[in-house]
Amino acid sequence: MKDLKTLLETIEYEVMSAPEGTELSSVQVKTLVNDSRKLEAGCLFFAIQGLNSNGHAFVEEAYEKGACAVLVMEDVPLPKNSKTILIKTANTRVAMAHVSAAFFDYPARKLKTIGITGTKGKTTTTYMVRNMLENAGIPTGLIGTIEVIVGDAHIKAHNTTPESMLLQSYLNDMVNAGCKAVVMEVSSQALKFHRSDAITFDIGIFTNLEPDHIGTGEHEDFDDYLHCKSLLFQQCVTGIVNADDAHAEEILKHHTCEVETFAIETEADLTATDISLTRKTGELGIAFTLHDKHAQDALDGAWLKCPTPGRFSVYNALCAIAVARHFHCDVDQIKEALLKAHVKGRVEMVKTPFPFTMIIDYAHNAMSLQSLLLSLKEYRPARLITLFGCGGNRAKDRRYEMGEISGKLSDLTIITSDNPRDEEPMDIIKDIETGVKKTHGSYVTVPDRIEAIRYAMKIAEDGDVIVLAGKGHEDYQEIKGVRHPMDERVIVRDLAKELQES
């Protein structure tokens, strides 16, 4: 427990109501709560304005359930005959981040903190960085889209960047588990809604930026999206930026950090040349020569390999190496880490006994699908077969765009389901079909996703590359509010066995 005065010392606030004679330093806070369903005696309740509900509507319930204090940003009824202290501040999300950090005794200050933002590459790069630091003997936690890793524990993630209370709790767990560093994905939503406030990152990273997450409940336009991404470089000591990205200068417009760069096309601190594609049955990769402007150790001129395809794999590797240099990782530790850089659902190659390549990837919008398919076409597959659907209750434009991209770049498009949610699968499929029909690409529709995968594997020939796009790390299919188990790795394994036997 912490006293209320200590928890509030880094924010500006006004006490609106308190029992006569009560000193904030004498009030002991048992726990922090921002969900009215978890209210309990002795808690500090944050009234948060959410997308679907407003925490200020539950303030009186907090009084009734014995909250020791309530933090608000709107006018609310004063407590009657209550021991609850009512406190007002300008922004309860900002306050929650700072109070949470204080409650857990500022765990980020006890770790080397690495935050990664950008449209693509965040997830893969976090794993690369963690691999490199672990190889160098630095116990490292991870927070990202797929999972949170604390020591030997792997916790399934629900947001790319958790809400500030949970984030600070994870950081505290990492300190207690003996971690010396943490690498985390910092989403634009996290920056917009102050989830990562109260953390000064030792290193902040920008991978790239393209239009995404724009719409209701996310960002009103691209300018807002860019602005939110740029905020990371006002809360880090060193910023590492992809100098090839067209938006790098705008991202750094108001930066307050030291800046380092990586690139393939332009001059930078870290660059790659002699990029070459590698391929064997069931596996696609890429290799390159590393150039370190600062010529640290044996890194300059090192020949490195990644077991994942595409130039984006080189960018991810350069980004991770730029971080590893700050921790004095040697070339062997870096080489080993890159070879282990397999991330669930991110250009994940699934082995089968057949002479074609199967890839599972999270690509679920036109931009990410185009990037993936263009990269795979460079390997000159016999045929590029793309299987995907689009999520229900989402913008229809995405369906048309993905259909058109796949129609242009694939030899065959298999349109199927992907989390139809409350919509009819065939309605979504028809929207995707509209996009494909703008091209001359061949396509079929197979609404049942398992049957669609079976169809793809049955018609595949030597040298084909099959892409299962959209699900990535997800292991479910959401239909009418129910999540049904569906792991494409298991499906491919079972189908491969079935096809072998038949």
Q: Give the pLDDT confidence of 90-113 residue by residue, as tens digits.
A: 999 999 999 999 999 999 999 999
pLDDT at 214 over 60: no
* DSSP-derived pairing of the beta strands 69-72 and 147-150: unpaired
CA nearest neighbour of 202 among 135, 112, 86, 110: 112
| Mean pLDDT for the chain overall | 94
Query: Can you list the domains of the chain with their CATH numbers?
Result: 2-103 (3.40.1390.10), 107-339 (3.40.1190.10), 348-501 (3.90.190.20)
What's the Cα-to-Cα distance from 212 to each of 187, 267, 395, 482, 489, rounded to whole Å? 12, 28, 12, 26, 27
Cβ–Cβ under 8 Å, residues 444 and 429: no
Cβ–Cβ under 8 Å, residues 41 and 28: no
Percent of the chain scoring above 90 in pLDDT: 88
Instruction: Write down the pLDDT at residue 354.
Output: 95
Instruction: Write down the pLDDT at residue 119.
Output: 87
Instruction: Write down the pLDDT at residue 215.
Output: 56
Instruction: Write down the pLDDT at residue 345.
Output: 93
Locate 25 and state its tokens: 């330093």
pLDDT at 51 over 80: no
What's the Cα-to-Cα distance from 390 to each of 85, 212, 288, 411, rounded to whole Å? 48, 15, 35, 20
The span from the CA of 13 to the CA of 72, in Å, is 10
Instruction: Write down the pLDDT at residue 395.
Output: 84
Mean pLDDT of 146-175: 96
Cβ–Cβ under 8 Å, residues 226 and 193: no
pLDDT: which is higher, 361 or 51:
361
DSSP states of 175-200: HHTT-SEEEEE--HHHHHTTTTTT--
pLDDT at 211 over 70: no
Instruction: Write down the pLDDT at residue 425.
Output: 96
For residue range 3-47, list pLDDT tens digits in order: 999 999 999 999 999 998 899 999 999 999 999 999 999 999 999
Whose tokens are 């064997």? That residue is 280
pLDDT at 218 over 70: no
Percent of the chain scoring above 70 in pLDDT: 97
Question: Residue 283's pLDDT band (boundaries 50, 70, 90)?
Answer: confident
CA nearest neighbour of 17 among 78, 94, 61: 78
Q: Is 106 left (phi over 0), alpha (psi -120 to 50) or beta?
A: left
pTM exceeds cut of 0.85? yes
Helix (H) or strand (E) holding 8: none
Instruction: Write down the pLDDT at residue 293.
Output: 87
Instruction: Write down the pLDDT at residue 435.
Output: 97
For residue range 69-86, list pLDDT tens digits in order: 999 999 999 998 789 999
Question: Residue 219's pLDDT band (boundaries 50, 70, 90)?
Answer: low
Question: Residue 130's pLDDT band (boundaries 50, 70, 90)?
Answer: very high
φ, ψ for residue 71, nearest 5 deg: -110, 125
pLDDT: which is higher, 395 or 431:
431
Locate 434 and state its tokens: 């509209």
Instruction: Write down the pLDDT at residue 280.
Output: 84
The span from the CA of 397 to the CA of 135, in Å, is 44
Instruction: Write down the pLDDT at residue 367.
Output: 86
Mean pLDDT of 138-153: 96
Cβ–Cβ under 8 Å, residues 84 and 68: yes
Instruction: Write down the pLDDT at residue 403.
Output: 98
Instruction: Write down the pLDDT at residue 213.
Output: 54
How many of the other CB atoms lie within 10 Å of CB of 35? 15
